[in-house]
A = this chain, B = another copy of it.
Amino acid sequence: MDKRAPARSGLSRRSMLAGAAAGVIVPAVAAAASSAPASAAPGITRQITMYAEKIPGTDLYGYGLEPGKPTIPGPLLEMYEGDTLEIELVNNTDQRLSIHPHGVNYDTASDGAPFNNSFNNPGETRTYIWRSRTQYQASNGFWMPGSAGYWHYHDHALGGDHGTAGLLGGLYGGLIVRKRGDLLPSKQYTVVFLDMMVNHKIAPETPIFEANLGERVEWICIGHGNLPHTFHLHAHRWADTRTGMLNGDNDRSHVIDNKNLDPGASFGFQVIAGEGVGPGAWMYHCHVQLHSDQGMAGVFLVRNADGSMPPGAQEAIDRFKGHGHGGHSAHSGAVAADPNGRPLPPSIPPGGAQKHPNAGGGPLDTTGGAAAKQAPPPPPAPPAPHDHGGHAGH
C-alpha cells in the first residue's frame, strides 16, 4: 500500500539524484495486501550511481554521486522501509574495493566482502542491491524488527578482507532507513569517529555544523577503526531510541548526551537546535579525554533564528580555530599530528552536512506546544538519496 503509481515526483530539486544520470525507478504494480511476507514489503526501487575515486592531492578516497566529486564522508543515503536501492558502483581507482551496508538486506553478491567474491576490481563497475523491510508480527505476539535505523556503509575490500585500508582511506558514509511517519529534519549532519579523527579531520579542521535556532537537526553518528569512542554533544540531549525520541509519557528509555561510538556502531537522533539553551557555539567531541585533547572536537553553531550570529559565537569559533595553533594549552603540540601518518590537506572535500531535501515542504515542528496533541499528519513524501558532500553547511 505504500507503493504508488510510477511517476517522477516528490523529489526535491535540491536532490543530486533528480538531476543526476542515475534514473529513479518506481514500482509499476500496486502493493500486495498487508499480509505480504517481509521479503515482498511494498516500496519503491531507486537506481543510483556512485563513484569511488581518489581525492586529488591526497592518498585518500571518497564515494560520490558524481564523477570527480568524492567526499569524506560519502553521500548520505536514505530510504523508507520497504524500499530498494540499486547502487551502480563505478570504481575509478586502481584498487580493489566495494560497498558494504549495515542494516539492510542484500544477497551474497551484494555483500561487498571479498569472501563472497563481491567487490569491484580496479576500473570495474558493479551493481549492489540493498533491500529494506518493514517489521512484522510473528506468532506469539513477537515483532521481528524492520530495517528502520541510522545505519552506514563502507568499503569491505580495499587492501584486505575487511576493508581496513578502505576505511582509513575515507570510504564510508551514512545510510538512513526511515519508517513511514518518522519526522523529517531540516538539517542533517554525519559525524564519523575513526581512530583519532572526525570525518577524517582533526581540530581545528573538524566540521562546524550550522543551524538556526529552532531548526530540527538530525545527527547521524558512525564509529569506525580501532579505538573506542564516546560521542558527546553540549547543551542538547536525546532519547537512546531508534529516533532519539520517546514513545510516550511512560517511556523509561535512557535520555543521554554521551554515547559509545565504537567501530561498526551507528546511531542517530534529532534535536531542536538551541532549544532551551539558546543560540551559540556548542562543542561536540569525543569524551575520551586524550582523544578530545588531540583534536576529536568540533562545533555545532546554532545561529539566531534569523540566521545572524549570536553574541560570542564568533569569538568561540576563533578560539576553537586557534586550537591547534597555540590556543590549546595542554596538548597543542599533538593537535596537528595525524595518528595515521597521512597528510590531511585542506583540500579534502568535506562531507557531512546538508539541508534535508524535504525541508522546504512546509514548517517542521520545532516547538511542541498547542498543536502537540493533534493526530499524526499523513506520511511525508519519500526522501531521496542525495549528495551532501559538496560543502559543509550548504
Contacts and interface: CB of A to CB of B under 8 A. Distances in A.
Nearest to A244: B145
Contacts of A282: 108, 111
Given A145-B245, A147-B255, A232-B264, 7 more contacts: A111-B235, A131-B276, A143-B251, A161-B329, A230-B265, A243-B252, A247-B250
Contacts of A108: 278, 280-282, 312-313, 316
Task: Place the interface of chain A in its size category.
Answer: 35 or more
Contact of A106 (B115, B235, B315, B377): B235
A283 B145 contact: no
Nearest to A256: B149
A120 to B, nearest CB: 15
A119 to B, nearest CB: 12
Nearest to A100: B234
Interface in A304-345: 312-313, 315-316, 319-320, 323, 327-331
A223 to B, nearest CB: 8
A47 to B, nearest CB: 20
Given A235-B111, A247-B143, A365-B139, A262 B37 contact: no
Contacts of A225: 288-289
Interface of A: 35, 37-39, 102-103, 105-108, 111, 113-117, 131, 133, 135-149, 159-165, 167, 181, 183, 223-226, 228, 230, 232, 234-235, 237-260, 262-267, 272, 275-278, 280-283, 285, 287-293, 297, 312-313, 315-316, 319-320, 323, 327-331, 365, 367-374, 376-377
